[in-house]
Structure 1
Amino acid sequence: MIRCWTSAVQLTELFISSLVHLAYGFYIFSTAVAGDLSQALSDLLYKPNVDASLKQEEGGSNEATTNAVDLPPIVLVHGIFGFGKGRLGGLSYFAGAEKKDDRVLVPDLGSLTSVYDRARELFYYLKGGQVDYGEEHSKACGHSRFGRIYENGHYPEWDEDHPVHFVGHSAGAQVVRVLQQMLEDKAFPGYENTSANWVLSITALSGAFNGTTRTYFDGMQPENGRSLKPICLLQLCRIGVIIYDWFDIPWLKAYYNFGFDHFNMSWRKIGLWGLIDCLLGNAGPFASEDWILPDLTLQGAIRLNSHLQTYPNTYYFSYATKRTRQFLGYTIPSGIFGIHPLLFIRVLQMCLWRYPTDVPPPYKGYRDEDWWDNDGALNTISMTHPRFPVEHPSYHVVKDSECQPLQPGIWYYKIIEGDHILFIVNRERAGVHFDLIYDSIFERCRKHAFRKTPTLPDHTPQ
């Protein structure tokens, strides 16, 4: 009887959670479509009459643009289910923050592809050429070795003398760390001179450095952090993504793409039986575990971190978010109105997390209570700096004046009150905090436009 009741509760929770996520996804999609239609109608009805003097004034701004070209670009890297410039019409994942500086790039990477695949895509987005996922990796994961072609890279001069600043949200921060390691390991064929020094700074917004317990609530198996539970939210997501890619509707995928084109799941290539094979879990990214969720489990993050370093010539800064507080010895959501409706129940769930007692803990010294503070998607302990399996050098910033001047090779982090989507998509929710945080990020990047002599030793996880 108890087992039946538990199953009924779990199915009800799955139904409600699926409904909420579908509704929010439809809201984002419809908002983007409505914005594009409104803009198109406005352009059609009200063609601006620009006089000669205004055109001359606009032409005179080229000098400022030329000066901006000399600055290292700031690259904004989106997180899971995110999108870059050119997707979802005029909607901005970073809520227009890219307009705050004259030299900002917003790449569109796979929204559900693995951290590894996204790091490869990011390299070729900047440097140019056809994305090469690597022969060994491609064979192991069952997808094409080569992907999208960037005829002209967005920053082809990128090298040690022309480094870049990266700002990553959520999983995007881990993507940048993996890319930096690939550069140091000279992992790109034809580019033997790459190094970690190609990265001038990394700024993380709610960065997924150490994984999240959220993945287990959504369906990842805590036993291994790789496979899915038979019935869960992620199974529904898996089925939806496979069908979406199989139908392969060009205009729809041009508007939003999960990033699995290199798996060739289109009906044109695999037919009906190929679709059935993917749905049964025998083929595709979910069969080979070459997608983002296994990288976001605690075990997956530890596997990644065991190969990633913090480098002495790079500046690191992290904003960790949380929407919890302590009350009578319990961790609870810090409020109702300050948390996005999509995330409130998730914040509460993560406050109650207990690692299964019949499963070995993900690392030595693990404690549930360390992972209770969260922002609805990630645990706050995960967002400050790389901690597991080896803790990297870090400094908790309370006042900016305490850490001036910044030193490279150390993770400076702030803990701020906010949920996981406070500084993306919907700018109005963050209000003045939105402008303050992005202004400080861009100001910091411009202040450290040129590399200084390293002051700290290289930190290599053992």
Structure 2
Amino acid sequence: MVIRFWIATLQISELFVSSLVHLLYGLYIFSTAVAGDLSQNLNEYLFKPNANIGVVKVEEPKGSTSVDDLPPIVLVHGIFGFGKGRLGGLSYFAGAEKKDERVLVPDLGSLTSIYDRARELFYYLKGGQVDYGEEHSKACGHSQFGRIYEQGHYPQWDEDHPIHFVGHSAGAQVARVMQQMLADKAFKGHDNTSENWVLSITSLSGAFNGTTRTYLDGMQPEDGWTMKPICLLQLCRLGVIVYDWLDIPLLKTYYNFGFDHFNMSWKKIGIQGPVDCLLGKTGPFASGDWILPDLTIQGSLRLNSHLHTFPNTYYFSYATKRTRKIMGITVPSSVLQVHPLLFIRVLQMSQWRHPPDASPPYKGYRDEDWWDNDGALNTLSMTHPRLPVEHPSQLVLKDSDCQPLQPGIWYYRIVEGDHILFIINRERAGVQFDLIYDSIFERCRKHVFRKTPPTLPNHAHQ
């Protein structure tokens, strides 16, 4: 009896600590957003006549292609992320989008499934009304159609005008799923799509093969699909349902989880509707059409079984790690080098053990392969697609290791950093932030292109 009491106490304590960590991290992002919003508005009010100070206008050389003809670099956010215009103007990518003249930052669902986000990404770029597909929509219990883009952000997008994608965390997998949809001609009314519409995919801590953190947060390791009755994710589910049901326009404009196509607003489902959602009868959490099932190892296996690495696309990946081994034991690198809101998760993930009474997620699974992590994802998962089939890859220690770049290969580099190294707080990352993003944009502009037809301005070929 005493042992059971202590086990229950430890489980409750873990839930409390996990919830506190996520709450603090949420407050950190929210307070940063509000502060940034107020600062931006104050600057615009006080210094409006000098608004263009510090902005350098690039004069195009004669005979060169204009900036508008450059292939866009599209930055795709991860879980709980947001695009341009949300959270009071806070930049999810910490201002990295200002490093190049032709960068797009779409606002996709922050908790919606990778499938739904891939559909949204296509229409954001091409234009039109988001079509989630009739079969998928019926199976998952949501509307077939979503947001309307009167004008796509790159309507000329096709095989002759391909695009670079840079995805953080789940955003990298979103880009891969969308590329596969292009190859499968899965967008109704767009019969000429192909995988060659994607010029390159760069992954920043990409969620390619799932993460053991999903099980720590509450996904069942037995199936990677359902949630434990009492866990952090149940609190998250409750908050999302209430937030969407209240449907307060000001709040939804400021931040949106992306579940509008599930019609959970009080205007559409009344008083009884949220009860059915909370009881698991309807909504995204009932059908599994949300992000967490896609981030389990099992969910990633299901996704990856249909995804290819294509021979004409360039792939590059930055995998992050904040662990080291001491006498054969994997532990966090140090207290100071790991963000305080991720330290607990780094420690927990470095000690993860798959339940012995549950079937392993794949043949050959070993706990120790998954211990290195960045507080959100396992380093093994971030390097390149490995499961259920390992895709062509090459470890990069220095840039000369991958020059000249070859398409159809996942070049990957291990970077010392936690999961939010590339986002939110540029000052915290220091010089490493600029070095990484500068190398990404330089690669896109100078080393990644198809010889026929050219996709770079004339002066970039010199």
Q: TM-score range by the shorter chain?
A: over 0.9
Please tell me the residue identity of whatever aligns with 1:161. D
Please tell me the residue identity of whatever aligns with 1:399. K
Where do 4+ consecutive residues of structure 1 move more than 3 Å? 57-66
Larger CA deviation: 134-143 vs 333-342: 333-342
Q: Is the 8 A contact 1:71 1:449 kept in 2?
A: no
Name the TM-score, length of structure 1 as normaliser: 0.94
Q: Is the 8 A contact 2:200 2:448 kept in 1?
A: no
Give distance in 1, aligned partners of 2:374 and 2:334.
12
Residue 8 of structure 1 corresponds to which residue in structure 2? 9
Give distance in 1, aligned partners of 2:414 and 2:290.
29
Residue 458 of structure 1 corresponds to which residue in structure 2? none
Deviations 1:178-226 (CA, angstroms, capped at 9, x unpaired): 0000000000000000000000000000000000000000000011100
How do residues 27-426 of structure 1 correspond to structure 2 at under 5 angstroms?
Answer: 27-48=28-49, 61=58, 63=60, 67-426=66-425
Q: Is the 8 A contact 2:332 2:347 kept in 1?
A: yes
Please tell me the residue identity of whatever aligns with 1:110. G
Query: How far off its partner does 1:70 sit?
Result: 1.4
Residue 460 of structure 1 corresponds to which residue in structure 2? none
Give distance in 2, aligned partners of 1:102 and 1:45.
27
Give distance in 1, aligned partners of 2:65 and 2:244.
41
Match of 2:66, SS state, is helix
Query: How far off its partner does 1:62 sit?
Result: 6.8
Larger CA deviation: 231-240 vs 63-72: 63-72
Query: How far off its partner does 1:49 sit?
Result: 5.7
Q: Is the 8 A contact 2:316 2:411 kept in 1?
A: yes
Identity %: 79
Deviations 1:236-274 (CA, angstroms, capped at 9, x unpaired): 000000000000000111000000000000011101100
Match of 1:303, SS state, is helix
Please tell me the residue identity of whatever aligns with 1:113. T
Unaligned runs of 5+ in 1: 454-462
Deviations 1:143-187 (CA, angstroms, capped at 9, x unpaired): 000000111000000000000000000000000000000000000
Give distance in 1, aligned partners of 2:422 and 2:307.
27
In structure 2, the CA distance between the partners of 1:220 and 1:59, relative to structure 1 (3 Å rule), is closer
* Root-mean-square deviation (Å): 1.7
Match of 2:324, SS state, is strand
Q: Is the 8 A contact 1:128 1:154 kept in 2?
A: yes
Deviations 1:59-98 (CA, angstroms, capped at 9, x unpaired): 9757589721111000000000000001011210000000
Q: Is the 8 A contact 1:129 1:153 kept in 2?
A: yes
Q: Is the 8 A contact 1:371 1:381 kept in 2?
A: yes
Please tell me the residue identity of whatever aligns with 1:29. F
Unaligned runs of 5+ in 2: 453-462
Give distance in 1, aligned partners of 2:48 and 2:312.
50
Q: Is the 8 A contact 1:72 1:449 kept in 2?
A: no
Match of 2:28, SS state, is helix
Q: Is the 8 A contact 1:94 1:423 kept in 2?
A: yes
Q: Is the 8 A contact 1:115 1:178 kept in 2?
A: yes
